Amino acid sequence: MSLRVSPVPLIVSLAIGIFACTPKTGSLLAPAARTVPVGASFKLHAIAGHHLNAQAPHSCGVGGIVSSIDASGMECKFTQTGTAEVRVGVCDDAVSFCKFQTHEVQITKD
């Protein structure tokens, strides 16, 4: 007598596992300012249950300088007016996924 196992439960289990590891849509960044005066500090943080990946390549955009970065957040200083697209790598705390996030900031004279 042989035991025959259907592949369907295995396929369903794999599909559920894949979706469980897929990040939710929407921003993984905490709400942050959309307008910042030139020369001022601007900081981005990840939402609860997530952190910034300090090893990922980050950018404060054109005219922006990364002044500090760690798992709790990234700080930028801007040297010119205009629009800056800040880019950071965010991971969930379990490190089951990491994803780049962007935040657009208008840099004003004052």
| Domains within the chain, CATH numbers bracketed | 26-108 (2.60.40.1080)
Q: Is the pTM of this model over 0.85?
A: no
- DSSP three-state, residue 21: helix
Q: Which two tokens stand for residue 70?
A: 């760690």
- DSSP three-state, residue 87: strand
In this structure, are strands 64-70 and 98-108 parallel, antiparallel, or unpaired? Answer: unpaired
| pLDDT (average), residues 85-103 | 96
Q: Could you tell me which of 28, 57, 56, 63 has the C-alpha nearest to residue 42?
A: 63
Per the prediction, the chain carries an average pLDDT of: 83
> How far is it, in rounded angstroms, from Cα 92 to Cα 99?
9
Q: What is the pLDDT of residues 51-67, one digit of tens each?
A: 999 899 999 998 899 99
Provide the sign of the torsion angle of the four alpha carbons 98, 71, 51, 15, taken in this order.
Answer: positive
Of the pLDDT bands very low, low, confident and very high (cuts 50, 70, 90), residue 104 is very high
